[in-house]
Chain A
Amino acid sequence: MALAAAKQDALAARLGGLARHTGGWLGAAQADALARLTAMGLPTKRDEYWRYSDPSSLTAAVATPAAVFDAGDESPVFDVIDRLKIVFVDGVFDAALSDDLALAGVEIERLADAAGADIHWAQGLYGVLETRGQSPVQRPLAALNTAFATDGVLIRVTGKAAKPVGITYIHRDPTSDVMLHHCIKLEAGAELTLTENGPAAARFTKVLEVEIADGARFHHIRAQGRDHERRAATHIFARLGAEALFKSFTLTANGRLTRNECVIELVGDDSKAHVAGAAMGDGDFHHDDTVFITHQGQRCESRQVFKKVLKNGAVGVFQGKILVKQGAQKTDGYQISQSLLLDGDSQFLAKPELEIYADDVKCSHGSTSGAIDETALYYMRSRGVPLKAAQSLLVLAFLAEAIAEIEDEAIADDIRDRLEGWLARHEH
């Protein structure tokens, strides 16, 4: 009882000052979400699902300020990619920095603009996948976001998008506290690449809901920005039809606290869902990948590939689950989570889980934690490769399996360059 009351008090404090959209389809959806959230309360470290990551800075009434990172003259990530740019500065849409929201084969609209309508296609998606993702594990921060998101992007893809859509989040205000919510609907056979980059805010809560119809393909690549003090809780909820593809890769370099949740349902047959991440942490860094993949259709393939490079007391967490429902025969599930600990201070906590109710499936999972291979280092140095370059090659080799999940070679090269840059700046 005491705990429940404390939870409700914490919730009331967190909601103080937050405003919902009222009226229109969004007002109704947000009111529903608030009801869900109120029933759940906010998470605490005592919740099983938050055992390894303390949510208190995410649930606190006020966001802890975060200094804005100065990238100097380094070009922003993905700048080499020709894409339709949508820019949010501390959560506020910036029309001047953004392109026209017009792209062949794609309808793009801001959530705030669409909110007032009585009927909208996004009604069938906004908060819907999030709600489905609330069981068997509760994700109150996602409901919080659905209830209070101020803006976001609604994208409906009817064909093959002429070019990628890129959302850039700029953090300028050290005290910004931002909630954005995006919905993406890929109609049958459609194809879209979405990039996301930037730290967004001192505290950022985000939900991305993606509906992928039969034969559609969705590629997602994000880089979460370098602001060292920022905190973020992000959620991806995806549902796939038949013969559909979902691929998501996330690069996280720095960040005081990052919780990236990914909830995927393979509903149709013969679909593929791949989620990958590369995280680089130095010092006061806590990074948590929490993934839940449900196989319902037959002959689907899922892959989870998460790699973390940690030093100076950085902490990495992986909670990954594959649930194979009855009837999901010929499922091919693969999960690997690995950390490379560059010193003795860092820590990696992994909780891989398999739950299988079908008899003809192939599922594997593995988790390792290790130091850099000293023999390989010596071998490379004995060929004249300097220590730093040899370390960098070995770290990139360690991350290679995750980076390989990026199909676009130009984007993969860009990510590799960022990783090399990070390694050069964080030499040990």
Chain B
Amino acid sequence: MLEIKNLHVKLQEEDKVILRGVDLKIGAGEVHAIMGPNGSGKSTLSYVLSGRDGYEVTDGSATLDGQELLEMEPEARAAAGLFLAFQYPVEIPGVGNMTFLRTAVNAQRKARGEEEMSAGDFLKVVRAKAKTLKIDADMLKRPVNVGFSGGEKKRNEILQMAMLEPKMCILDETDSGLDVDAMKLVSEGVNALRDAGRSFLVITHYQRLLDHIKPDVVHIMAAGRIIRTGGPELALEVEQNGYADILAEVV
């Protein structure tokens, strides 16, 4: 599904290198988790994959089902099936949540040569999905993320994901800011989307999320590299001992 090879990234404006040769391969239907200390480059990786400006790829590649991602516009990556649930979802004053969602769904359908969703159908689907995430009608009407609480923003990201039905979902610290119940809701939302054709890359600091969304593979990122890869037990090890041992091993 997603294959990242030797990815090197620096900031465009500065001589600051952030990713120093990331290798990662996620098969169809798999769930991978990335953990790692603050500032190790996890969000940067997700931004570079989704096409944010400000970064320069100096080496390496990233492909989605064989398609080279890094050359594509962000909207084309989305249409190809990539989705990033943001660590810090963006507020868009003046643009209604519903309008935004429908524009996005129909733009992707159009890009893929599919028929657009009628207003009626869209409303039905979005209401049902919002309900399972406990997003009320008022939140759907309000401007995108404006005045949403931290947890509401995260749930809104998952609603977007559920509506867009991407095949490669990257979740960047979706658990941060969520209360215990909301974490369950969100995890259920994610698990409901799991199937053989869809893969997940879950970035998190906490094992707790991985109790709900069970990963197949866990990676540890430090200083812009994946320094260790293992099974779910690796997350438990981090939870218990922190990163010190793992980091020491590498050095």
Contact = CB atoms under 8 A, between A and B. Distances in A.
Contacts of A387: 73, 75
Interface in A369-412: 373-376, 378-387, 389-390, 393-394, 396-398, 400-401
B164 A383 contact: yes
Interface in B80-121: 83-84, 86, 89-95, 99-100, 103-105, 107-108, 111
Interface in A100-122: none
B60 to A, nearest CB: 21
Given A376-B90, A378-B52, A389-B107, A394 B95 contact: yes
Given A382-B78, A384-B108, A393 B51 contact: no
A381 B92 contact: no
A400 B94 contact: yes
A396 B103 CA distance: 14
B53 interface: yes
A398 B107 contact: no
A378 B95 contact: no
A279 B107 CA distance: 28
A378 B78 contact: no
Interface in A73-117: none
Given A386-B75, A387-B75, A397 B95 contact: yes
Contacts of A396: 94
A142 to B, nearest CB: 35
Contact of A393 (B73, B84, B95): B95
A166 to B, nearest CB: 29
Contacts of A390: 75
A378 B50 CA distance: 9
A195 B138 CA distance: 34
Given A386-B75, A387-B75, A379 B104 contact: no
A6 B108 CA distance: 64
B160 interface: yes
Nearest to A393: B95
B155 to A, nearest CB: 16
A341 B201 CA distance: 38
B74 A393 contact: no
B95 A375 contact: no
Interface string A338-376: 000000000000000000000000000000000001111
Given A384-B104, A384-B108, A378 B74 contact: yes
Contacts of B105: 384
Contacts of B89: 379
A2 B5 CA distance: 78
A389 B108 CA distance: 12
B79 interface: yes
A383 B111 contact: no
B195 to A, nearest CB: 20
B78 A384 contact: yes
A379 B90 contact: yes
Contacts of B78: 381-384
A393 B105 CA distance: 15
A393 B100 contact: yes
Contact of B51 (A373, A382, A385): A382
Given A385-B75, A396-B94, A397-B94, A380 B53 contact: no
Contact of B73 (A380, A381, A397): A381
A397 B103 CA distance: 14
A379 B107 contact: no
Given A384-B111, A385-B75, A386-B75, A379 B92 contact: yes
Contacts of B160: 383
A175 B126 CA distance: 56
Contacts of B75: 381-382, 384-387, 390
Nearest to A404: B94
Nearest to A390: B75
Nearest to B112: A384
Given A383-B104, A383-B160, A398 B94 contact: yes
Interface in B42-87: 50-53, 73-75, 77-79, 83-84, 86
Contact of B53 (A374, A386, A393, A401): A374
A393 B90 contact: no
Interface string A13-42: 000000000000000000000000000000
Given A378-B53, A384-B79, A384-B111, A389 B103 contact: yes
Given A383-B164, A384-B111, A387-B73, A376 B79 contact: no
Contacts of A381: 51, 73-75, 78
> 7 closest pairs, A vs B, by CB?
A397-B94, A384-B78, A381-B74, A384-B108, A379-B90, A383-B104, A381-B75
Given A381-B78, A397-B92, A397-B94, 16 more contacts: A381-B73, A382-B50, A382-B51, A382-B84, A383-B160, A384-B78, A384-B79, A384-B105, A384-B107, A384-B164, A385-B100, A385-B104, A387-B73, A393-B99, A393-B100, A394-B92
6 contacts: A382-B50, A382-B74, A384-B75, A389-B107, A397-B94, A397-B143
Interface of B: 50-53, 73-75, 77-79, 83-84, 86, 89-95, 99-100, 103-105, 107-108, 111, 143, 160, 164
